[in-house]
Each structure stands twice: as structure tokens, then as C-alpha cells.
Amino acid sequence: MVENFDYSLIDWSRAQFALTAMYHWLFVPLTLGLGFIMAFMETIYYKTGNPEWKKLTKFWMKLFGINFAIGVATGLILEFEFGTNWSNYSWFVGDIFGAPLAIEGILAFFLESTFVAVMFFGWKKVSKKFHLVSTWLVAFGANLSALWILVANAWMQLPAGMTFNPETARNEMTNFWDVFLSPMAVNKFLHTISSSFVLGAIFVIGISAWFLLKKREVVFAKRSILVAGVFGLISSIFTILVGDISGQLVAKNQPMKFAAIEGLYKGQKNAGLIAIGMFSTQNPEEARKNVKDFAFKIEIPNMLSYLAYRDFEAFVPGIEDIIEGSYEYTDKSGKKVTALSANEKIRRGRKAIRALSNYKIAKDNKDEAAMASARKVLDENFQYFGYGYFNDPNRLIPNVPLTFYSFHLMVLLGFYFVLFFIVILILLYKRRLDGNKLWLRVSIITMPLAYLASMFGWVTAEMGRQPWVIQDLMPTMAAVSRLDAGSVELTFWLFAVLFTALLIAEIRIMTKQVKIGPKEGGR
């Protein structure tokens, strides 16, 4: 199979989708985290009858509503792009990928949209209990929406519960529960929503710290910090624990991504974990072809082997090993097998693609024997189908520096957030937070760091997976629609202007509401 693609079109299509996804993700995690914080506050109001807690709830609810509305707008555009820019992908796996997205629209989005109106406008129109239930349903609905989207994304990382139909050249779902309860799907959902809870908690603490610096609404601010601090501390610890399991799943199912995350070019036993490091080269093209060393690094001996396989002496394959093959690993059935080289996978992938073509020819000729023979070859080699689109094995290597730095910055910030919540709660408990202007300013600065950590996580997940849109089955270059690269470039800049305007509008509206404060804004 000869690589014959318009890489300008591919790059602009990827850039447009990345732009939309990253802007969308600026709004989503705050919705996920703030929804539950509001629900906790309203529950306290329901239990105590204290109007101060109602004031808290209504203030954060207003900020939630502003963010929710703009998040919906960007999310709709993101889903449309699967049909406009990635139609080949949608055809190849639409029967599987479309199912969770349809459930998300029918179940989760309608749940949110139905009860969000009651939550905002029903304070004096429904009972306190029904209003509380509505708030909780909105919070659950937002996270339920995220669940189905993350199930779809996890399937792209680890395809399961499907079979390929050569009659239609489409993958078809055979077991919904294998898709829904895939270890990758469960882990990705838990890790993503818990990290969003962390962001929501930091947002609440940062805004509350601003009130304390201004010596306004002191009781409101302290109560908000208490709820957000406890919620954030629990969520941040849980995020790290789930992230550890995520590392094992990636090591097992996406070894190339794992090697890129750790900057591991040469596989080794007793592999050390690089806590902090910097490459001696930043050129990703060089990093695809040559073994690179670090200009400096701080390494924890044997820890990478343990984190990946729970064995301090385990062999962790590096990028070179994965390209060259011949190392031993344990497959999904628990058997020890020898890894194939990239060239062998490419050979088998081309064999699968030819078999599909032969199947179609045999079908047109009504030659059932030839159809059966082609189908047998296709089934035997289908797991390497996507490799058949490549000539150069080096194209199977992702952007190592970008993946490495994104992951390590995310982890570093994750541990910082745990420390941040602990310090905030200690200062609050000792009644020393009000006068600690330094830590109040740190709280405000930490807000953008939470957004950066969230973005770094997605860059790691998606860039580390490249060049695959569906791991091993479909490369990104085969998934794009046949469009004019210039038209995609034009819409990229139009979306960039539109999304930036939306972001600026949200920041201005939110800033105005914060300046008004909970007293006026909560009435």
C-alpha cells in the first residue's frame, strides 16, 4: 500500500479538530466539577435552612450557567466535525462510535436540559426538595454526558466488542457491554471526571480567595473554600490513584504511547521513572529516527517497571524495541508471545487490505470459494489492518517531546494540587487564611494552572496515540474527508476567531458577576 495522502489537508483537519476540542474542554471540566459543588451546597441549605447556604448556591449556580451555555455551543460544533472533516472515520466505525454519542444526546443531554431550567428558575415555583433533586440531576446529567463521550474516546484507544463486516467495510458492534465496560473506558471516565472535580474546586477556591483579599463576603468565601477544599482534596488523591491504573493500561495496550510518555527509546529491565527531565534535542523529526538522551534527568530507580507491570524487574519496551520487535510480552490471553516488528505488522496490514479488496472482487463475481478464502486471510490479519497504510515504520512514532513534557507537567501539577488543598484546609482550620495574602494570591494563580493540567492530560492522551485515530486499525491520515485543504484552513481561522470571542465573552461576563458578588448576584 503506497502512502498517497494530502498531508496539508490532514494537518489542517487535525488542527481544526484540536482547536475545537481544546476550546470545548476549557468549559467542560468546570461544568462537571462545579455542578457537584453546587449540589453539596444546596444540600446543606436543605438540611439547615440557613439562607447563607442558599446565597452560596445561587452565586456559584450563576457562574455554572454562563459556562454551561458556552460549553454546549462548542460541543455541538465538535460533533458536527466528525461528519464534515472525518467522514471516512465515521463510515468505518460509525455503528460503534455513534452509539454512545446517541445515548449521550438522548439520555444525558435531555436530562440536563430538562432540569437545568428548574434549577435556575424554580426556586419559588417548586418545593425545596424538588429543587434540590433538580440540582443533583443536572450535576449527574453533566457527568453522564461526559461518560458516553469518554466511552467513545476510550474505544478509539482500545477497540473492543466489535467485528469487521467486509460486506460494508464497516466495524459493527457485537457486544455493547464490552464497549461500555472496557477497562480503558472505566478508567478514562473516572480519571477525567475526578480531574474535572479538582478544577472545579480550584476555581471556587480561587474566586473565594479574591473575595478574601478584597475583604468582601468573608463568611461566604470561607464556607465556599471549606466545601471546595474537602471536595478537591478527595478528588485530587483519587485522580492520582486512578492515573496510576491508567499507566498500567497504557503500558499493556499502547506500548508506543507509554514509551513516548516516559521518553524511553531503549527498552530495559529495572527501568527507572524519570521524575524530571529535558531532552538533549527538541526536534520531533529527529526524535522519530534516532535514539536521544536527556540533557538532564532525575530518575527514580526501578519505579517505571513497577508502575507498568507491578514488578521492579520487568522489562519495559522502548521505542526502538517496538519498531524492531523480538521482545517478549504477555498478550491479552495471558500467554508469553514475541512482539512483531513494525515492518512485519505493515506487511500483515497490507495483506489484510488486499484481502478486503479480493473479497469485494470475489463478491462481484459471485465466487463463494474466493470470498471465503479472502475472508479467512482478512480475519487472520485484521488486527494489523491500519499498519497497511504505512511505508515508513518511523511514522508510527508519535511526537515524543510533546507527549513527554505534557505528561510530566500534568503529573507535577497533580501532586501540587494535593499539597495546595492540604495547605488551604489547614490555614482555614487554624483561622489564618484571611490574613495570608501570599497564599490567597497563590490560590488565584492556581486557577489557570488547573486548566493547563487538564489540557496537558488530553494532549498526552491524544498526541501519544498518534498516528492512530483508532489504535492499530485506522491511521489519522485515512480517516479524513476528501476536502480541499484551503477550505479547512479557512474554517480553522473562522473557528479560532469565533471561539476566542466566546472565551473572551465568558471571561467578561463571569468577571462582572464575580464583581457584583453573591449578595446582589444571589438574590
3-class DSSP state of 461: helix
pLDDT of residue 225: 94
Please name the residues in contact with 340: beta carbons below 8 A apart, sequence gap of 6 or more.
325, 348
CA atoms within 13 A on the CB side of 247: 23
Report the distance separating Cα 390 and Cα 372, nearest Å: 27
Q: Is 329 among the domain residues?
A: no
Q: How many helices and strands (H and E) does the chain possess?
A: 18, 10
| Separation of alpha carbons 187 and 164, rounded Å | 26
Asked if the structure places residue 252 within a domain, the reply is: yes
Between CA 239 and CA 219 the distance in angstroms is 30
Question: What integer is the mean pLDDT of 460-487?
Answer: 90
Instruction: Specify the higher pLDDT residue, 317 or 434.
Output: 317
Closest CA to 377 of 404, 359, 401: 359
Helices (H), 214-302: 218-253, 255-262, 284-289
- Torsion over CA of 455, 459, 461 and 467, rounded to 10 degrees? 160
For residue 94, is it within any domain?
Answer: yes
**Cell numbers standing for residue 346:** 505493515
Q: Rounded mean pLDDT of 448-476?
A: 93
CA 91-462-264 angle, to 5 degrees, is: 130
| Angle, alpha carbons 285-291-297 (nearest 5°) | 105
The label of the residue with cell 503506497 reads: 2
Provide CB contacts within 8 A for 117, sequence distance 6+.
none
Is residue 325 pLDDT above 90, yes or no?
no
Model pLDDT, residue 91 = 86
3 state SS of 328: strand
Whole-number Å distance between alpha carbons of 369 and 371: 5
Query: What DSSP character marks residue 294?
Result: E
pLDDT at 28 over 50: yes
Q: Which of 61-65, 197-201, 294-298, 401-405 has the highest mean pLDDT?
A: 197-201
Contacts of 504 (CB under 8 A, 6+ apart): none
Tell me if 170 is assigned to some domain: yes
Q: Which pairs with CB-CB distance under 8 Å and at least 24 residues apart come from 477-480?
A: 477/3, 477/5, 477/7, 477/10, 477/389, 478/5, 478/88, 478/386, 478/389, 479/86, 479/88, 479/89, 479/92, 480/9, 480/10, 480/13, 480/85, 480/86, 480/88, 480/89
Fill in the amino acid letter for 344: E
Residue 201: predicted pLDDT: 96
pLDDT tens string 125-175: 889 999 999 999 999 888 888 888 889 889 999 998 899 998 888 888 999
What secondary structure letter does DSSP report for 280? S
Does the structure show a pLDDT above 50 at 291? no
Residue of 74 and 519 predicted with greater confidence: 74
Query: Using CA atoms in the order 320, 326, 332, 334, what is the torsion angle rounded to 10 degrees?
Result: -130
Decide if 278 is inside a domain.
no
The band of 285, judged by pLDDT with boundaries at 50, 70 and 90, is low
pLDDT at 341: 93
Q: Is 347 part of any domain? A: no
The pLDDT value recorded for residue 350 is: 95
Q: Which cell numbers hold the place of 60?
A: 456559584
Task: Determine the Cα–Cα distance for residues 419 and 142; give it in Å rounded to an integer.
Answer: 28
* 17, burial (CB in 10 Å: exposed 0-12, middle 13-18, buried 19+): buried
Does residue 433 form part of some domain? yes
How does DSSP classify residue 44?
Answer: H
Please enumerate in sequence order all residues whose Cβ is within 8 A of that of 115, keeping only pairs 6 or more positions apart, or say none: 134, 135, 137, 138, 141
Q: What is the residue whose three cell numbers read 524492531? A: 324
**Average pLDDT along the chain:** 88
Q: Average pLDDT of 421-429? A: 94
pLDDT tens figures, 55-92: 999 999 999 988 887 877 777 787 788 878 888 888 88
CA 193 – CA 34 distance, rounded (Å): 11
Radius of gyration of the chain (CA): 25
What are the pLDDT digits (tens) for 112-131?
A: 778 888 888 888 888 999 99
| Contact by Cβ (8 Å): 382, 354 | no
What pLDDT does 2 receive? 45
The residue segments making up the domain with residue 481 are 24-258+394-521
Query: Per-residue pLDDT for 478 more than 60?
Result: yes
The per-residue pLDDT for 135 is 92
User: Is 317's pLDDT higher than 70?
Assistant: yes
**CA 123 – CA 45 distance, rounded (Å):** 13
Mean of pLDDT values over 365-392: 91
- Residue 71 CB: number of other CB atoms within 10 A? 23
- Stretch among 59-68, 90-99, 249-258, 452-461 having the lowest mean pLDDT: 90-99
pLDDT at 187: 93
Helix axes 437-463, 183-213, angle to 10 degrees: 160
Q: Which three cell numbers stand for residue 405?
A: 513534557
Task: Give percent of the chain above pLDDT 90.
Answer: 51
pLDDT at 283: 56
**Are the CB atoms for 461 and 25 separated by under 8 Å?**
no
Domain count of the fold of the chain: 1
At residue 292 the predicted structure's pLDDT band, cuts being 50, 70 and 90, is low
CA distances from 53 to 43, 224, 319, 428 (A): 9, 9, 54, 18
Q: HEC string of 67-130?
A: HHHHHHHHHHHHHHHHHHCCHHHHHHHHHHHHHHHHHHHHHHHHHHHHHHHHHHHCCCCCCHHH
pLDDT (0 to 100) of residue 347: 95
Task: Choose between 68 and 188: higher pLDDT.
Answer: 188
Asked if residue 199 lies in contact with residue 168, where contact means CB atoms within 8 angstroms, the answer is: no
* 11 located within any domain: no
| Residue among 293, 300, 330 nearest 314 (CA) | 330
